Structure 1
């Protein structure tokens, strides 16, 4: 049997394969959670206690996390994570640093332990960081001094040790800083866990 080469048929086959692959990619994109959602899932993966089931609607099959409990978005971008007073326990994931549009991170009054990840310093739009009333320890990372947009930094009632980083002098927008009295500071004198305003450096 004589089989003849048909270049037109081969080209048509290749075009069909190309469009089929593009269709698969589009479908996959529709099903894939965005980068912010993936970062939040990594955060949830480090939480070992959620007594009220607050994070039960954090669904990895969603396209974005904007309908999840505690997550607030503007134009589809995560700008606030507010999980205060929920008795959540665990450690803070470095992946929080991937929430590049975040303006407010409020984890006040939970049971988080371990250190503040240095990746928090990547949140260059952050204005409020509230980690009060947890069981965080270690030293406060100097990278926080790179968040020049920071206006309120609340760190009271944890188990931090060492000093307030000298890099905090860079925080010209900062109007409120709360930290425990045991921390030493070369840049701030007389500021403690009392709610005091700053405006003199």
Structure 2
């Protein structure tokens, strides 16, 4: 009878231990399900550098269970559950573009995230990581306060079709390498942003629209 009781106690202990392991496993997996993915973390890196958000447009860009899916965030567009566009145009946002943010989004599913940043108050230099976004189609940074030199290696982004850089008073140096962009169909830049030879000559294989403002 004593042996029988001991066996029951052991079985009980094993059951408790098994239940504990199951609970820990489920808890860990729940944490994974309810945590931001790499895309969400990349967007949060951008959010951390935005010092001014007059309209509260990014108020739901938070690491919270209710908004854990970045596809539900304002201005974020997804395809098949993956972030493809971050449209922050005309929101009067003020801040900088963190280099770490650009590095985080160097994955194929997010190459178009940086399309629409026009008409805000972003300042500072344009992170060099932009040149690594090899499938970026639209680069729209017009009407901001960016400064410094433009990225010489932009010419290596063969997929770029539209570049909008006008009305950035302190941004200079759009180099001749821009002529290497085979898919380019539209470029807007200020005259002071152009270096000698930067403006394209007549194109025989495509129509390219240049808008140069004084």
Which residue is 2:4 aligned to? none
Is 1:84 the counterpart of 2:89? The answer is yes
Which residue is 1:47 aligned to? 50
Matches within 5 A, 1:88-107: 88-94=93-99, 95-99=101-105, 100=107, 101-103=110-112, 105-107=115-117
Is 1:197 the counterpart of 2:214? The answer is no
Q: Please report the TM-score for the alignment, with normalisation by the length of structure 2.
A: 0.75
Which residue is 2:143 aligned to? 133
Structure showing greater radius of gyration is 2
Q: Please report the TM-score for the alignment, with normalisation by the length of structure 1.
A: 0.79
Give the root-mean-square deviation of aligned CA atoms.
2.8
Which residue is 2:204 aligned to? none
Q: Structure 1 189/15 Cα, relative in aligned 2: closer, same or farther at 3 Å?
A: same
CA contact (8 A) 2:176 2:198 kept: no
The structural deviation recorded for 1:149 is 1.4
Partner Cα separation in structure 2 for residue 74 and residue 139 of structure 1: 34
Partner Cα separation in structure 1 for residue 160 and residue 28 of structure 2: 39
The structure whose residues are more often helix, as a share, is 2
CA contact (8 A) 2:176 2:199 kept: no
The structural deviation recorded for 1:190 is 6.6
Any idea what SS the aligned residue of 1:78 has? strand
Partner Cα separation in structure 2 for residue 125 and residue 189 of structure 1: 23
Matches within 5 A, 1:175-186: 175-186=185-196
